Structure 1
Amino acid sequence: MTIDLRTLSRDEHDRWYAQLMLAFGGVPEPPQEQRLMDDLTEFDRSIGAWDGAACVGTASAFSYRVAVPGGTFLPAAGVTMVSVAATHRRRGILSSMMRRQLDDVRERGEALAVLTASEPAIYGRFGYGIATRQLALTVESARVRIEAPEGTDEVSLRFADVTEAAERCEAVYARTIGTRPGNLARSPGWERLPLLDPPEERDGSSPMQCVLAERAGELVGFVRFHIKLSSEWSVPTSRIRVRHISALDPAAYAALWRFLLSVDLTEFVEARNLPVDDPLLSMVSDIRRCAVRMRDSMHVRLVDVGAALEARTYLTPVDVVFEVEDAFCPWNAGRWRLTGDAKGASCERTDDAPELSLSVRELGAAYLGDTSLAALGAAGRVRELRQGALTETSVAFGSAVAPWLQHGF
């Protein structure tokens, strides 16, 4: 049976999107979410796999700029909307779409491809490594207090209309994204994403609420959240569900969390996407009452090893020769000499003896500074060929703060 793989046309979009929804359970997205995705879809970056008139596979990408260590924003393909019909599994359709997509990313001159995975086990064979993680926690409001830094009492808080405050909140987001690798610079249209609030996805919670943190009239932080009301025998067990919290300084961040933990008739505060080194972990009085959990978030694939490694900076001076394996994108395979420090880097082909041997998947996992090369070496996924090279390079690849992806795509 022949499968036709081609770039998506506008008149095919409805059938293409219906296949995507079917692959993810068959439950339609709320209309406002679907409208946003329709507006943001880049048709020239979208692929359909067709068995006759039936769409049996989908894949797309968004054009992003991703923060990398050193504060630079690197153009990247945000891989998304990937699916294969359950009737057409194990016929090479996914591999064919990944092949077409990565070839296109290379032709566009983008050094990185990134994604968030519904099934993390899928993408390692295509060279993606888990490069950021996210923290989730549920704080017992009555049992945890915030050890607030100096200046917290100078921050004033007030409720605001979500839509009316959106532009000011977006400005805070724009000021914070360069401080952590992994964040995305939002292009026009994407500012609508955090404002989505379909009733179908509230699970009985309130409409989204917004509280602003201000100092001397300047917005220094905000939090968007829902409240899910519940009780047992008239005793409140309600919970606050944080959608997004952001602040420009520790005092503003502490003020927002102190507010969340003090809302009347609520017992818990839930946040499902924080960086793994979030300041809150050092502000709470009792970490055991915070039910901390962690999961993978953004997966990174180096499409151009040389350009990607040159684009970031390094915590300590590094001079190392990698032997890189990359069966899926063979133009990356071979030896690369990386030389760099906190000011910049170069990465070029070399015939010198290799000092570390690894696959492009390990480079992706370590690229933003989350997973250390030393940890991958302990797992047998990086081989040290010169004594001391693994420790030296692992330290250099680190990041002063944990990388983080603030929102999915």
Structure 2
Amino acid sequence: MTTKLRTVSKDDFDAWYAGLEWAFGGLKESADERRLWHELVDLDRSLGVWDGDRVVGSLGTFALRVSVPGGAVVSAAGVTMVHVAATHRRRGLLRLMMRRALDDYREAGEPLAVLTASEPGIYGRFGFGAATWRMLATIDTARVAVNAPAGADDIALRVEDPARAARRCEELYARLVPRRPGMLERLPGWERLPLLDPPGEREGASARRCVLAEREGELLGYARYALRPRFAEAGPEGAVVVRDLEAATPEAYAALLRYLAEIDLMSTVVLRDLPVDAPLLHLVSDVRRCELRVQDRMYLRPVDVGAALAARSYTTELDVVLDVTDDMCPWNAGRWRLSGGPGGAVCARTGDAADLALPVRALGAAYLGGVSLASLAGAGLVGERRAGALAAAGAAFTGQLAPWLPHTF
């Protein structure tokens, strides 16, 4: 069997994307979705494997910028649109594409690569670790109340068409990005993603709405949501399906959550994408009736260990030598001295003895501060070579807020 790996041209896109759609179940995306992904994907760094005139593998790349601990926003290659045709499994095609992609990212000077995984068991062998997690909640609003703090009653709420409110919502979102690691800066074009609302994907819900939370004309928060009405013999059992909930103040967050929980004829609020430390946990009257679940979200791997570790800041001062193993990116393997603190950091090669030893996927998991080095050590993924190094480095890596990816890519 003869296969050929090459980058994707504009003329290739339709066939390349059709192969991806088939691999993910064969359902066609809406024209608006397809057009947006076509415009956002970096075709010059996207790969396809052809067997004759058939596309049998794909790996796309987005140019992203992700917030890291300390508030900096760092360039990252977003790995996306990955598939290998069922007829061509176990031939090393995914490894071939990933090998080429990581080389390209290094050449472009990108310190990080990130992805969301349809099958999380795949990517650890390529050095990716689960760096952010999301919480899902289904609130039984017949039994759960929202206990809003003082000041929430001063927030004015107004329902608006999402497209009309988009500019103001994006301005607020941009202010929030540096506050929490893992958030994506919305580069040109990405502001259209939250507005996608294909009728065929609403699952019985209404068109999306947007509620704005304001004080004296200043936008402090917003939520995009839809209503899924349902009527049973005993009464209405509708659901409020929330797409986004963003707020700059506790009062605005609580006012929005309370509004969503009190919409007439609805008995549940479904939130599919929250940080694991969302304020919701402390505002609801009965957290047990919120059906909380946690899922892995964004996977991260350093493409350049030195540049990646120097790009973020650290909660406490640290001076630690890391012995990193990295089979996919051998330029990362070896010992690195990381020195820094809240004001920034430097990371460079060293011949000094290691304090901690870990594979690059463990470093990727810990990078945004949401996964502790101690928990990774408990799983046998981090080895302490100098007594006390694990506790000191763990305190420095961990941040105040849990990292969170607000939308997929």
Category of TM-score, reference length = shorter chain? over 0.9
Shift of 1:234: 4.7
User: 1:110 matched to which residue of 2?
Assistant: 110
Shift of 1:175: 1.0
Shift of 1:289: 1.1
Does the alignment pair 1:228 with 2:238?
no
Q: How is 1:350-369 mapped onto 2 (pairs within 5 angstroms)?
A: 350-369=350-369
Q: Structure 2: which amino acid aligns with 1:106? A: R
- TM-score, normalised by the number of residues in structure 2: 0.99
Shift of 1:158: 1.1
Shift of 1:162: 1.4
User: 1:402 matched to which residue of 2?
Assistant: 402
Could you list the per-position Cα deviations for residues 264-296 of structure 1 after superposition, in whole angstroms to 9, with x for gaps in the alignment? 111000000000000111111111111110000
Shift of 1:145: 1.4
Partner Cα distance (1:135, 1:375) in 2: 19
User: 1:151 matched to which residue of 2?
Assistant: 151
SS of the equivalent of 2:173 reads helix
Partner Cα distance (2:21, 2:117) in 1: 16
Shift of 1:231: 2.0
Runs of 4+ in 1 over 6 A off after TM superposition: none
Partner Cα distance (1:259, 1:345) in 2: 43
Partner Cα distance (1:383, 1:161) in 2: 53
Shift of 1:394: 0.9
Partner Cα distance (2:247, 2:382) in 1: 38
Q: 8 Å contact 2:43–2:61 — kept in the other structure?
A: no
User: 1:212 matched to which residue of 2?
Assistant: 212
Shift of 1:2: 2.3
Could you list the per-position Cα deviations for residues 129-184 of structure 1 after superposition, in whole angstroms to 9, with x for gaps in the alignment? 00000000001112111221121111011111111111111111111111100001
Q: Structure 2: which amino acid aligns with 1:332? A: N
SS of the equivalent of 2:77 reads strand
Does the alignment pair 1:275 with 2:286?
no
SS of the equivalent of 1:164 reads helix
Deviates more, 1:238-247 or 1:146-155: 146-155
Deviates more, 1:122-131 or 1:161-170: 161-170
Does the alignment pair 1:312 with 2:312?
yes
Deviates more, 1:216-225 or 1:100-109: 216-225
Partner Cα distance (2:345, 2:357) in 1: 20
Partner Cα distance (1:176, 1:69) in 2: 13
Partner Cα distance (2:43, 2:323) in 1: 37
SS of the equivalent of 2:142 reads helix
Q: 8 Å contact 2:213–2:222 — kept in the other structure?
A: yes
Q: 8 Å contact 2:58–2:84 — kept in the other structure?
A: yes
Q: How is 1:242-257 mapped onto 2 (pairs within 5 angstroms)?
A: 242-257=242-257
- TM-score, normalised by the number of residues in structure 1: 0.99
User: 2:31 matched to which residue of 1?
Assistant: 31
User: 2:44 matched to which residue of 1?
Assistant: 44
Partner Cα distance (1:164, 1:347) in 2: 46
Partner Cα distance (1:346, 1:3) in 2: 43
Partner Cα distance (2:403, 2:159) in 1: 30
User: 2:262 matched to which residue of 1?
Assistant: 262
Shift of 1:41: 2.0
Partner Cα distance (1:340, 1:168) in 2: 37
Size of the alignment, in residue pairs?
A: 409
Partner Cα distance (1:28, 1:244) in 2: 25
Could you list the per-position Cα deviations for residues 43-75 of structure 1 after superposition, in whole angstroms to 9, with x for gaps in the alignment? 101101011111100111111111000000111
Q: Structure 2: which amino acid aligns with 1:281? A: L
Partner Cα distance (1:272, 1:103) in 2: 35
SS of the equivalent of 2:95 reads helix
Q: 8 Å contact 2:132–2:182 — kept in the other structure?
A: yes
- Identity, in percent, stands at 57
Instruction: Give structure 2 stretches of 5+ with no counterpart.
Output: none
Instruction: Give structure 1 stretches of 5+ with no counterpart.
Output: none
Could you list the per-position Cα deviations for residues 24-59 of structure 1 after superposition, in whole angstroms to 9, with x for gaps in the alignment? 011111121111111212110110101111110011
User: 1:186 matched to which residue of 2?
Assistant: 186
Q: How is 1:12-161 mapped onto 2 (pairs within 5 angstroms)?
A: 12-161=12-161
Q: Structure 2: which amino acid aligns with 1:248? A: A
Partner Cα distance (1:349, 1:327) in 2: 18
